[in-house]
Homo-oligomer: A and B are copies of this chain.
Amino acid sequence: MQSDNPTAAILVIGDEILSGRTREGNAHHLSQVLNSIGIDLREVRIVSDDQDQIVEAIRALDKSLGGRWDMLFTSGGIGPTHDDVTADAVAAAFGVGIEINEEARAVMTARWQARGVEVTGNRLRMARIPLGARLIANAHSAAPGFHIGNTYVMAGVPEVFRVMVEAIIPGLPTGRASVSEAVEVMRPESDVADGLREVAERYPDLSLGSYPFQREQRYGTSLVIRGLDGARVAAAMADLHARLAL
């Protein structure tokens, strides 16, 4: 699909995903949000709680560090325990120091005191923020995320990840949201390949995809046409219907 939309990557951090213990869902959620505001998600990486691996991925993915995509969103590894190394890795990737952020400390302390929770060194570990970063509000619990360069660092707990995504949306550059139309046909993918390719060639500005499925022992294919211009998508779908005699 041709697009001048801003581009993005997601970096998911966590051994528990790679071991198969936890099924990743934050990237799927964010992919839908980004699509709806016209940001083209181009790559997702999942790495372990390993500082070197995280640093390398951030540098490869954030354009402000010479990486490939306009924006990078991370999920996970900003909690209070020894295996939470994301904040240190981000500081290392950007070549800045990391220390207790007074704004973060104030936000967290106020929240804890309101709930009668003791402020401990472990809790305050979550206020360690790379120098120069701006906080991302956490409407769910106490510890904030942060934003530095073009990288947005968010928590892995799904409820917290979602409120942090809500918090950053107003500040993100946006593009044109794509429009898609889909149709299911009860034919194998190879039977619709010619018609699909012909329409793809006539509409080079659109993205045409085909996704095979099986239902009650029969083969079917979902055909999806996606683009920025709804009228073009509708015209291409009409063309596809005609070619496939739907």
Residues of A with Cβ closer than 8 Å to B?
15-25, 27-28, 31-35, 41-49, 53, 79-83, 117, 120, 122-123, 125-126, 141, 157, 159, 178, 180, 188-194, 196-197, 200, 207-214, 219, 224, 226
A6 to B242, CA, bound (A): 52
Interface class of chain A by DSSP: mixed
Copy total for this chain: 2
* CB pair A190 B120 closer than 8 Å: yes
* CB pair A81 B193 closer than 8 Å: yes
Nearest chain B residue, comparing its CB with the CB of A126? B190
* CB pair B15 A209 closer than 8 Å: yes
* CB pair B82 A193 closer than 8 Å: yes
Q: A44-B45, A82-B193, A197-B82 are in contact. Are A35 and B19 (CB under 8 A)?
A: yes
Contact partner, A81, options B27, B49, B197, Cβ 8 Å:
B197
* CB pair A47 B43 closer than 8 Å: yes
* CB pair B16 A24 closer than 8 Å: no
List B contacts of A193 (CB < 8 A): 80-82, 122, 125
A209 to B48, CA, bound (A): 12
A212 to B35, CA, bound (A): 29
* CB pair A43 B32 closer than 8 Å: no
List B contacts of A19 (CB < 8 A): 31, 35, 41, 178, 180, 226
* CB pair A20 B16 closer than 8 Å: no
* CB pair B44 A80 closer than 8 Å: no
Nearest chain B residue, comparing its CB with the CB of A10? B46
* CB pair B31 A42 closer than 8 Å: no
A32 to B31, CA, bound (A): 24
* CB pair A83 B47 closer than 8 Å: no
Minimal beta-carbon separation of A194 from chain B (angstroms): 6
Q: A83-B209, A210-B79 are in contact. Are A31 and B41 (CB under 8 A)?
A: no
